[in-house]
Amino acid sequence: MKNYFLYLMAMAIMVACGNGDKNKSDKLNVDGAQYAEPFRPQYHFTPKEMWMNDPNGLVYHEGIYHLFYQYYPEDIVWGPMHWGHAVSKDMVHWQHKPIALYPDEHGYIFSGSAVVDKMNTSGFGEEGQQPLVAIYTYHLMESEKAGRADFQTQGIAYSLDNGDTWVKYEGNPVIDNEGIRDFRDPKVFWHEPSEVWIMTLVAGDHAKFYSSKNLREWEYLSDFGKEQGAHGGVWECPDLIKFNVEGANEEKWVLIISINPGAPNGGSGTQYFVGDFDGSSFTTNQEEIKWLDWGTDNYAGVTYNNAPNDECIFIGWMSNWTYARDTPTKKWRSAMTLPRKLTLAKEGNIYFLKNTPLVQLASLKSEVAPKSFDITPGQVKEMEFETNNQAQVVFTTSSNKFEMKFANAKGENMVLGINDTVAYLDRRQSGKIDFHEEFGKTVHKMSLKGLAQESYEVSLYIDRSSVEVFIDDGKFVMTEQIFPTAPYTSLSITNRGTESLQVKNLKVQKIKSIW
């Protein structure tokens, strides 16, 4: 890795007011040939090249969905962090943009959020323009190497051209660090009742809340979480969201927290808390740990600010820090999950988040006639799966004992099964697994406590190197990477129960490439 200060000098030559060479923009658009690389997802977002991790600054403004992300433009492993940038008009097709934020004298540009400052509270707007304001963590590597604990601070930048160029605030950092080692990932939103901006930060093993009237001066409010939730690792990437509870005249707040390690199937994962926020503090009566996704490859996810119709749109990083640096790609590394709609539901006194792919994805799907059939106990239904690993497989059933196997001619296979109150996903023979000892070590399991007693839906989205499973309308979710060396060409469904397995309205829909 380059000497940090030499690196900053090089960046200074390239950067004016925190921006790189604007003429690079047309070089960042991809072509279909490049996106035909082995393992390259065809309908998930990936960088054109090099390393990517956490989604950052998710915001909608003037008809454009912005996706910023942690990016290192010089290698396919983690390095000095920048904010990469892509935009979309439909949350399906993406256009690459120039790097938005470069490291500077305050450090690397770590994770954060972005808001539309509609009332120009920051004073950054000009002639009636509504500025976009990015709020992010600075990480000063030289201070960390020197053994100091205050190497992470919070900074801001603003844009007056809908995210194309950015100016860093001359008063950065806007929140200093009094000695907290892991002090990062600000997520900011406008709190209408108190007419202030609210920031959620993480501080090692808990969350902190701050308020501001202008995005430049911040006041500490409260802490949450030292005694609540999972604590198998460091807390990261918080998000505090207000929901109207489905089917109830009730509002609740949900605090999303990523944790690494400590997830239910190892490594990185995302938990959430359902409670109340009074403008100053978050409280909850929740005792059990709730997981937004039980798979091993949905981490650091956050939601969009200012989304149309107040829709809660979530995107996660589709990887796991256990093996993220080792996955078998050559020119690029990492993908994002499908954009998902989050909703909060309630059964009895139990609240739970549901997450389902956005309906816009339907524009990529082929039209096929559904099929229904029964499978007697112990028998197998086999069918072709000629989709080049770009498909949705969806059906309804009432059975709780069956297994689905996707396989290719090389003997590689991935298995999804349900056994009473547990779902399991087995990728131990799914393809390339030898790049890290933990990747194909165990069968991953998910609790199905609360699964519908009658008919429920099973939906799988398979791309070249991933599978996302949504069960019972997104109540139970697993996201996993897979690396088959050839596309799966067969699908078999086995009845593991003692009664007939009814598979209703099965559809295998091919999904077109977005590139």
SS (H, E, C) 205-254: CCEEEEEECCCCCCEEEEEECCCCCCCCCEEEEEEEEEEECCCCCCEEEE
SS (H, E, C) 245-284: CCCCCCEEEEEEEEEECCCCCCCCEEEEEEEEECCCCEEC
Contact 278, 378 (CB under 8 A): no
Q: Is 326 a catalytic residue?
A: no
Query: Of 21, 26, 31, 54, which one is the catalytic site residue?
Result: 54
Q: At 7, which helix (H) or strand (E)?
A: helix 4-14
Q: At 185, which helix (H) or strand (E)?
A: strand 183-191
Distances (CA, A) of 58 to 64, 113, 152, 467: 11, 6, 21, 23
Distances (CA, A) of 72 to 49, 80, 140, 177, 334: 9, 6, 16, 25, 12
User: By CB neighbour count within 10 A (0-12 exposed, 13-18 middle, 19+ buried), where does 341 fall?
Assistant: middle
Contacts of 196 (CB under 8 A, 6+ apart): 190, 211, 212, 213, 279
Q: Is 4 helix (H, G, I), strand (E, B) or coil?
A: helix
**219-224 sheet: strands from edge to edge:** 183-191, 196-203, 207-212, 219-224
Look up tokens 């202008």; give the residue.
214
Q: Give dist(CA 167, CA 101) in Å, integer.
A: 9
β-sheet bridge partners, residue 113: 135
β-sheet bridge partners, residue 242: 253
- Closest by CA to 101, choosing from 69, 141, 62, 79, is 69
User: By CB neighbour count within 10 A (0-12 exposed, 13-18 middle, 19+ buried), where does 245 fall?
Assistant: middle
CA dihedral for 287, 292, 294, 296, sign (positive or negative): negative
Where are the extended beta strands (E) located within 311-455? Answer: 313-317, 332-333, 340-347, 350-357, 371-375, 380-384, 391-397, 401-407, 413-419, 422-429, 444-447
Q: Give dist(CA 442, CA 477) in Å, integer.
A: 18
Q: Is 138 helix (H, G, I), strand (E, B) or coil?
A: strand
Task: Find out whether the peptide bond into 55 is cis, omega within 30 degrees of 0.
Answer: no
Which amino acids are annotated catalytic? Answer: 54
